[in-house]
Amino acid sequence: MYKLFLLILSVAILSLSFDGSPVRVGETVPDFQAIDDKGNPWNLYDHLRSDYLVVYFYPAAFTGGCTAQACNYRDHMSELALLNVSVVGISGDEPQNLGMFKKEHNLNFTLLSDQDGEIAKLFGVPVREGGTIEREIDGKTLQLSRGITTSRWTYVIDINRKLIYKNNNVDAANDSQTVYEFIQTHNLRKSCR
C-alpha cells in the first residue's frame, strides 16, 4: 500500500513539474520517479552519481529484441563503467515482471516500470497500448502484463542533468556499443575545450 502511495505521489509531482513538452537535447531533465525491478521507489536525481546515465526505453520484457538489448548492456557494462556510465532500462512492464526479467537474464543494471507512460511522455517517446504475453519462467507458465508499450529510444543524461544524446532509431543488439562510442567522442570533445 505504501509503495502504491509513493507511486501515485511521484506521478502527481511529475505532472506538476512537467509542462507537456518533451525534454530536448541540451535541456535539463526534470526529476522523475518510478518503481524499480525490486518494487522500490527510484528517482532520477538520487541516481545521477555517474558522469553519465543511459536511459533506454524498450517495448516489453521477455521479447526478442528487448532481451537482446538488455543482454547487450549487461555484457558491456564493464566497458561502460570505465567511462563512469550507469544504465537504466524503462518499459511499461509491471515491476514484478521486471524483477523476473532481470533475474532470468542476470542483468546488472536497474529496470524501471513506467506503466502509465508518464516518463516516456517526458522524453517524447511514442507509446501505444500495453498488452499481455505468456512466457515460461522457472518451469511455470505466466501471464506478463504491461500498461503501455514504448518505442525503442535511448538517451544519455550527464551528471549536470543535461540531456546530451537521443537516438530514436535504435539497433537493439548494438545499442550499448553505439552509446559507448558516443560517450567516448563526447569525452574527447570535453577534454579538448
- Residue 186: predicted pLDDT: 84
Mean pLDDT of 119-129: 96
Is-contact 125 150, C-beta < 8 A? yes
- Residue 3: predicted pLDDT: 52
pLDDT band with cut points at 50, 70 and 90 for residue 191: low
pLDDT at 192 over 60: yes
User: Shortest CA distance to 185 belongs to which of 168, 170, 169, 165?
Assistant: 165
Residue 117 vs residue 8, higher pLDDT: 117
- Residue 13: predicted pLDDT: 45
- Residue 145: predicted pLDDT: 85
Active site residue 66: yes
Is-contact 62 50, C-beta < 8 A? no
Is-contact 30 18, C-beta < 8 A? yes
Q: Which residues of 30-56 are buried (b: 16+ CB within 10 A; e: fewer)?
A: eebbbbbbeeebbebeeebebbbbbbb
pLDDT at 127 over 70: yes
- Residue 116: predicted pLDDT: 95
pLDDT band with cut points at 50, 70 and 90 for residue 18: very low
Position 59, amino acid: P
| pLDDT, tens digit, 9 for 90 and up, residues 40-59 | 999 999 988 889 999 999 99
**Where are the extended beta strands (E) located within 12-139?**
33-36, 41-43, 52-57, 85-91, 110-113, 127-137
Least confident of 8-12, 64-68, 95-99: 8-12
Q: Taking the CA atoms of the chain, what radius of gyration do you get in angstroms?
A: 16
| pLDDT, tens digit, 9 for 90 and up, residues 143-179 | 888 899 999 999 999 999 999 999 999 999 999 999 9
Homologous superfamily of 2-18+29-192: Glutaredoxin (3.40.30.10)
Collapsed DSSP state (helix, strand, coil) of residue 71: helix
Q: Which of 66, 125, 156, 157 is catalytic?
A: 66
